[in-house]
Amino acid sequence: MFAIVEIAGLQYKVEQDQKLFVNRLKGEKGDKVSFDKVLLTVNGSTTVGAPAVSGITVDIEILDHVQADKVIIFKKKRRKGYAKKNGHRQQLTQIIVTGITGFEGEKKTKKAEPKAKKEAAATEEAKATNDSATAE
């Protein structure tokens, strides 16, 4: 089961217990945040939102605020005496997906149906054996 969710303006494919880095989020270390802008879900069947799937939320926990590796930007124009060196470190938040909620009702109905079929088949077999035992 996975979902595509929009977090801080970017789209991420997330699964249960997945760790990932996203653009800096507001909140402190250990805070729990929920995102309801889920664009697509796959749980046995694919559900595509228009623009978002209603009733599905992705719950995350903030693990840490970190900085990415430094990116060096070097600009130069030949024979002009122009060279400029600059650097940048992106601010990131490390998160873990604690759960994708909103599927509980679908799961229970799918699991309950096979049990009901098995019980019905078992009662039919019991009736058949009882009928054959009484006929003899």
pLDDT of residue 134: 60
pTM confidence score: 0.67
Q: Are 72 and 87 in contact (CB under 8 A)?
A: yes
If asked whether residues 30 and 94 sit together in one domain, one would say yes
Number of domains in the chain: 2
* Same domain, yes or no: 115 and 68: no
Q: Indicate whether 130 and 85 sit together in one domain.
A: no
User: Do 84 and 22 sit in the same domain of this protein?
Assistant: yes
Given this model, what pLDDT does residue 49 score?
85
Q: Residue 61: what pLDDT?
A: 97
Q: Which residues lie across from 3 on neighbouring strands?
A: 14, 41
Residue 110 sits in which domain range? 103-136
Verify that 83 and 20 share a domain, yes or no: yes
Confirm if 68 and 30 have CB atoms less than 8 A apart.
no
Same domain, 76 and 133: no
Which residues of the chain carry a pLDDT beneath 50? 106-112
Residues in the chain: 136
Residue 31 shares a structural domain with residue 80: yes
Q: How far apart are CA 33 and CA 37, in angstroms?
A: 13
Beta strands in 89-125 (DSSP E): 91-101
* Residue 56 pLDDT: 92
| pLDDT of the residue at 44 | 85
Domain identity same for 93 and 36:
yes
Cα–Cα distance, 111 to 115 (Å, whole number): 7
| 44, 66: one domain | yes
Quick one: 86 and 132 in the same domain? no
What are the residues facing 99 on neighbouring strands?
59
Q: Render pLDDT for 1-11 as a digit per residue (tens, 0 to 9).
A: 899 999 999 99
Based on the domain organization, do 32 and 20 belong to the same domain? yes
Identify which of 12, 37, 39 has the alpha carbon closest to the alpha carbon of residue 96: 12
Q: What pLDDT shows up at residue 110?
A: 44
Which tens digits make up the pLDDT trace of 23-40? 999 999 999 999 999 999
Residues 88 and 136 both lie in one domain? no
pLDDT of residue 46: 86
